[in-house]
Amino acid sequence: MEERYERQIALPEIGAAGQARLRESRVLIVGCGAIGSNVAEPLARAGIGGITLVDYDIIELSNLQRQGLVTERDVGRLKAEVLAERLAEVNSEVKVDYQVLRVDPGGIEGLVKGVDIVFDGSDNYPTRYLVNDACVKHGVPWVFAAVAGTYGEVMPVIPERGACLRCLMPEPPPDAAVLTAGTSGLLNAVPRAIAAIAVAEGIKILLGAIELPTRLVTLDLWQGRFAAQTIPRNDGCPCCGEGKFEFL
Task: Return d(Cα 109, Cα 136) in angstroms, integer.
Answer: 10
Q: Which is nearer to Zn ion, 42 or 162 (CB)?
A: 162
Q: Choose which of 80, 221, 231, 237 interacts with Zn ion (CB under 5 A).
A: 237
Tell me how crowded residue 145 is: count the other CB atoms within 10 A of its CB. Answer: 29
Which stretch in 50-58, 114-122, 146-154, 230-238 sits in contact with Zn ion by CB under 5 A? Answer: 230-238
CB of 117 to Zn ion, least distance (A): 18
Q: Which is nearer to Zn ion, 78 or 240 (CB)?
A: 240
Q: Which is nearer to Zn ion, 140 or 240 (CB)?
A: 240
CB of 235 to Zn ion, least distance (A): 9
CB of 43 to Zn ion, least distance (A): 26
Comparing CA positions, the residue from 35, 68, 27 lying closest to residue 203 is 27
Task: Return d(Cα 114, Cα 139) in angstroms, integer.
Answer: 10
CB-based burial of residue 17 (10 Å sphere; 0-12 exposed, 13-18 middle, 19+ buried)? Answer: exposed
Q: Which is nearer to Zn ion, 40 or 168 (CB)?
A: 168
Told to check if 240 binds Zn ion by CB under 5 A, we report: yes
Which stretch in 70-78, 82-90, 117-125, 237-245 sits in contact with Zn ion by CB under 5 A? Answer: 237-245
Told to check if 22 binds Zn ion by CB under 5 A, we report: no
The binding track of 154-183 with respect to Zn ion, each residue x by CB under 5 A or -, is ----------x-xx----------------
CB of 137 to Zn ion, least distance (A): 12
Q: Which is nearer to Zn ion, 164 or 219 (CB)?
A: 164
Q: How many residues bind Zn ion (CB under 5 A)?
A: 6
Q: Which is nearer to Zn ion, 53 or 239 (CB)?
A: 239
Task: Return d(Cα 88, Cα 81) in angstroms, integer.
Answer: 11
CB of 109 to Zn ion, least distance (A): 18
Q: Look up residue 57 and give its amino acid.
A: D
Task: Return d(Cα 109, Cα 145) in angstroms, integer.
Answer: 20
Tell me how crowded residue 207 is: count the other CB atoms within 10 A of its CB. Answer: 17
Residues 6+ apart with CB under 8 A from 6: none
CB of 147 to Zn ion, least distance (A): 22
CB of 159 to Zn ion, least distance (A): 9
- E strands present in the chain: 26-30, 50-54, 95-99, 117-120, 142-148, 151-157, 215-220, 225-230
- The sign of the dihedral angle between the CA atoms of 32, 35, 91, 64 is positive
Task: Return d(Cα 142, Cα 183) in angstroms, integer.
Answer: 26
Q: Which residues bind Zn ion (CB under 5 A)?
A: 164, 166-167, 237, 239-240
